[in-house]
Amino acid sequence: MKKILLFLFLFFEIIVTAYAQNANFEKQIDALISAKTEKPFNGIIFISQKGKTKYFKALGYSDLNKKASLQLNDQFVIGSISKQFTTVLLLREYDKGRVELFIPIHQYLPELKQSWADTVTVHQLLTHMHGIVELDKPTAFKPGTQYAYSQIGYDLLAKIIEKTSGESFAGLSKKMFKKCGMKHTFHPDIKQYKNLVKGYTETENGTIELENKSLQNYAAAGSFISNCSDLNLWNEQFYGGKLLKKATLKMLETKQKNAIRNHPIFGKTPYGYGITIDTIDGILQYGQTGFCPGFVSMNYYYPKTKTSVIVLENIAYYPDEIKKTFYYHTEILKIIRPKLKG
């Protein structure tokens, strides 16, 4: 009888402890972002699980000069999170039989003059293993032999999508977002965004200055505009299998051979198609960070618990020390990830 009572006591203690830990993550994040510091958090945090909002906080300003407070529907430039959109649009062409992944891209872009167009494949563009540094220069290495994170490769994917679909990349993205119910997400050329916040960068002398280069990256690689609620919708549709065939989504979510990024924040990280795939500590994590002048973003999804962790910030502190730039994002992951075990 004593053994049974001891077992029951220990069992209930574990349950109560687990409940307390899960209930406290909100307080832990609140303490993190409200702590007095010279580099205060200025952005939006959105965490959902199985379609229900678990945490939402908008802290700081959309316009520092006007002291306009951030709101739920405020839009941010999301940097490399954009690559997921481009990947899905390309793979939708693949699902329709219009694109092959392992044939040279010269098949789709005959205007390319460099000899690498006869060897580089769509697969290599998706996995950053092509070596292209500029359109009019040789590749930095033999295509397929190395990994080198690239923006220009995703711009080429956008061009392929336009050729095979007969539509503009911007227009196709608009149709996809409409299908997903994403009313606040746009290619920058679709100038229908009304709540784009201002982005700011910390200078070498510590002042915070308005950024004017936020949209100068290739749109397909890093200049889409979105907000936290739309990115949550995206995760539900994307990882929920609503946009691609089942086999295609599985391929996208598979660690591709030798496609391992030496991530500036997380170290060696396997890459699929358009997303990183992290299995550290036995927790499967899909997604991507995003950085462009004035904007620091993160969107990760945990399929086992159907959890989305989205952080959008519009002040880039320490722009030359990227780990420090993503301080709040990584600290939030440290709080959340242990809650997703088991």
pLDDT tens digits along 177-231? 999 999 999 999 999 999 999 999 999 999 999 999 999 999 999 999 999 999 9
CA dihedral 63, 64, 65, 67 (to 10 degrees): 80
On whether the CB atoms of residues 59 and 33 are closer than 8 A, the answer is: yes
- Nearest-angstrom CA–CA distance, 140 and 35: 45
Query: What pLDDT shows up at residue 46?
Result: 98
- R_g of the chain, CA atoms, integer Å: 21
Whether 174 and 273 share a structural domain: yes
- Nearest-angstrom CA–CA distance, 311 and 58: 10
Whether 102 and 211 share a structural domain: yes
Whether 31 and 74 share a structural domain: no
63-69: long-range contacts, CB 8 A cutoff, minimum separation 24: 63/197, 63/198, 64/198, 64/200, 64/208, 64/210
C-alpha atoms less than 13 angstroms from C-alpha of 37 in its C-beta half-sphere:
12
Closest C-alpha among 87, 77, 57, 52 to residue 287: 87
- Nearest-angstrom CA–CA distance, 329 and 220: 23
Query: What pLDDT shows up at residue 1?
Result: 55
Mean pLDDT of the chain: 93
pLDDT at 127 exceeding the cut of 70: yes
37: exposed, middle or buried (Cβ count in 10 Å: 0-12, 13-18, 19+): exposed
Query: What pLDDT shows up at residue 341?
Result: 78
- Cα four-point dihedral sign 147, 148, 149, 150: negative
Whether 48 and 31 share a structural domain: no
Q: How many domains does the chain have?
A: 2
Whether 197 and 323 share a structural domain: yes
pLDDT at 80 exceeding the cut of 50: yes
Whether 29 and 156 share a structural domain: no
Residues of the domain holding 18: 1-36
DSSP 212: S
pLDDT at 36 exceeding the cut of 90: yes
- Mean pLDDT, residues 80-91 taken together: 98
Whether 8 and 98 share a structural domain: no
Residue with tokens 């690498």: 116
Whether 182 and 249 share a structural domain: yes
Whether 312 and 169 share a structural domain: yes
- Nearest-angstrom CA–CA distance, 323 and 220: 24
The whole model's pTM is what? 0.92
Query: What pLDDT shows up at residue 128?
Result: 98
Whether 62 and 2 share a structural domain: no
Strand partners, 288: 299
pLDDT at 235 exceeding the cut of 80: yes
Whether 61 and 32 share a structural domain: no
Query: What's the CATH number where 178 sits?
Result: 3.40.710.10
Query: What pLDDT shows up at residue 18?
Result: 44
pLDDT tens digits along 236-279? 999 999 999 999 999 999 999 999 999 999 999 999 999 999 99
**Of the candidate ranges 21-35, 77-91, 133-147, 191-205, the one whose mean pLDDT is the lowest:** 21-35
- Name the amino acid, one letter, at 164: T
Whether 135 and 280 share a structural domain: yes
